[in-house]
């Protein structure tokens, strides 16, 4: 490893995980994420511009790239983009780990082409197992079947283990916990619950609405007892098997068990702004210098300076919490 090339922030964290939003558009209006009235707010760049940025990041030690949005499957040229990413090598000479987060609505047709193009893994967001509840959350009728078909197509395409992410909101879909346990076992997917963070357009977040890791664990144990899988401190998800060894679930608990001290992430928005934290209140405009003729070396220097300013931690739930300058759908989760 050329350690001098690694991106390291002033808190000593190595940054090797890049999340890049390739569109601000989304075809769902999930109630806990979007207002339902607001559309895309930020432009998207040509795919070639994202690829150039990724190349510079990879030259600085990024080993994993996750494509997200908005809804990344809406972006024309995605398969070709994954093909290009598949040709890149990390500074160690290994293939890049290429992941995608999607709502799964268009995945049934795209899973195989994406796998053939070199996609390593896919995470599908799905916040209810029950069809009617799913429609209420996404505000899109009859979408559940399509997402399920997408999950299964991803499995057939070999993108295993497929992860299914669920954000729980008290009084809204927290009655789905056991159903998700069953779903993980029957479908052979890893279901991961993510604690709800204050990153929504409608600003409905309150500590009471968050279903915490401890609560999910105890409610899942009523369905079937769990055994924790040993994990590295740097892993964001706590992982569990059901006691009979069939079915894995994970819990990502940024609110009740923050993991900022191990954060290895950096984000680029659809319009080419670097965000060093989900909760950043300022961004670093990489697209600007790139459009005005910056060299790869200039861009690398800009990225290193941005990373150096990465926030120590988030302040969710604390007095004086300042909301992030963008909501989740416009950042890229």
103 binds ligand SAM (CB under 6 A): yes
Which residue number, 60 or 73, has a Cβ lying nearer to ligand SAM? 73
Work out which of 63, 102, 269, 280 binds ligand SAM, going by CB under 6 A: 102
Q: How far apart are CB 274 and ligand SAM at their closest, in Å?
A: 18
Q: Toward ligand SAM, which CB reaches closer, 7 or 20?
A: 20
Tokens at residue 194, please? 């993510």
Strands of the chain, DSSP E = 7-8, 14-15, 17-21, 64-68, 97-102, 121-125, 163-167, 190-194, 226-229, 237-242, 248-252, 265-268, 273-275, 284-285
Q: Does 176 bind ligand SAM (CB under 6 A)?
A: no
CB of 165 to ligand SAM, least distance (A): 4
- The rounded distance, in Å, linking the Cα atoms of 208 and 322 is 19
SS3 content of the chain, % helix, strand, coil (to 5): 35, 20, 45
* Residue 306, token pair as written in the block: 């941005």
Cβ proximity of 42 and 291 under 8 Å: no
The answer to whether 303 and 180 have CB atoms below 8 angstroms apart is: no
Pair of tokens at residue 198: 């204050």
Rounded to an integer, what distance in angstroms lies between the CA atom of residue 186 and that of residue 193? 17
Burial class (CB in 10 A: 0-12, 13-18, 19+), 178: middle
Query: Total number of residues binding ligand SAM (CB under 6 A)?
Result: 20
- For residue 77, how far is the Cα from the chain centroid? 20
Choosing from 7, 20, 26, 53, the residue that interacts with ligand SAM (CB under 6 A) is 26
Q: Which residues, 42 to 101, sit near ligand SAM by CB under 6 A?
A: 68-69, 71, 101
Residue closer to ligand SAM by CB (options 59, 150) is 150
Tell me the closest approach of the beta carbon of residue 329 to ligand SAM, in angstroms. Answer: 5
Report in angstroms how near the CB of residue 75 gets to ligand SAM at its nearest: 11
Interface characters, 145-174, with ligand SAM (x: CB under 6 A): --------------------x-x-------
Segment 114 to 143, residues that bind ligand SAM, using CB under 6 A: 125
Decide: is 329 part of the binding site for ligand SAM (CB under 6 A): yes
Name the minimum Å distance from CB 84 to ligand SAM. 21
Q: How far is the CB of 217 from ligand SAM (least distance, A)?
A: 18
Q: Which of residues 183-242 bind ligand SAM (CB under 6 A)?
A: 194, 196-197, 199-200
User: Applying CB under 6 A, does 31 fall inside the site for ligand SAM?
Assistant: no
The least distance separating ligand SAM from the CB of residue 197, rounded to whole angstroms, comes to 4
Report the distance separating Cα 54 and Cα 19, nearest Å.
10
Are 69 and 26 in contact, with CB atoms under 8 Å apart? yes
* Residues binding ligand SAM (CB under 6 A): 26, 32-33, 68-69, 71, 101-103, 125, 165, 167, 194, 196-197, 199-200, 328-329, 333
């Amino acid at each position: 490893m050329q350690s001098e090339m690694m991106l390291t922030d002033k808190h000593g964290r190595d940054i090797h995980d890049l999340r890049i939003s390739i569109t601000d558009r989304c075809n769902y209006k999930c109630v806990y994420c979007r207002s339902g009235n607001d559309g895309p707010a930020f432009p998207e760049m040509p795919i070639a511009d994202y690829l150039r940025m990724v190349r510079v990041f990879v030259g600085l030690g990024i080993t994993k790239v996750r494509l997200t949005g908005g809804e990344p499957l809406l972006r024309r040229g995605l398969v070709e983009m994954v093909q290009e990413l598949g040709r890149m090598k990390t500074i160690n000479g290994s293939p890049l780990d290429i992941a995608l987060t999607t709502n799964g609505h268009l995945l049934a047709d795209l899973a195989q082409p994406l796998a053939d193009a070199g996609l390593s893994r896919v995470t599908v967001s799905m916040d209810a197992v029950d069809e009617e509840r799913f429609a209420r959350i996404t505000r899109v009728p009859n979408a559940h079947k399509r997402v399920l078909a997408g999950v299964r197509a991803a499995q057939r395409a070999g993108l295993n283990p497929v992860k299914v992410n669920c954000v729980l909101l008290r009084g809204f879909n927290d009655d789905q916990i056991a159903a998700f346990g069953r779903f993980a076992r029957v479908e052979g997917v890893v279901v991961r619950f993510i604690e709800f963070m204050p990153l929504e357009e409608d600003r409905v977040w309150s500590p009471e609405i968050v279903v915490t890791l401890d609560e999910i664990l105890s409610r899942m144990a009523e369905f079937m007892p769990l055994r924790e899988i040993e994990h590295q401190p740097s892993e964001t998800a706590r992982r569990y098997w059901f006691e009979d060894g069939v079915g894995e679930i994970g819990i990502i608990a940024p609110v009740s068990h923050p993991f900022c001290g191990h954060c290895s992430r950096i984000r680029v928005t659809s319009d080419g702004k670097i965000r060093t934290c989900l909760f950043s209140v300022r961004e670093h405009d990489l697209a600007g210098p790139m459009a005005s003729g910056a060299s790869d070396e200039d861009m690398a220097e800009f990225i290193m300076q941005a990373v150096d300013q990465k926030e120590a931690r988030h302040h969710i739930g604390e007095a004086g919490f300042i909301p992030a300058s963008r909501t989740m759908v416009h950042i890229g989760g």
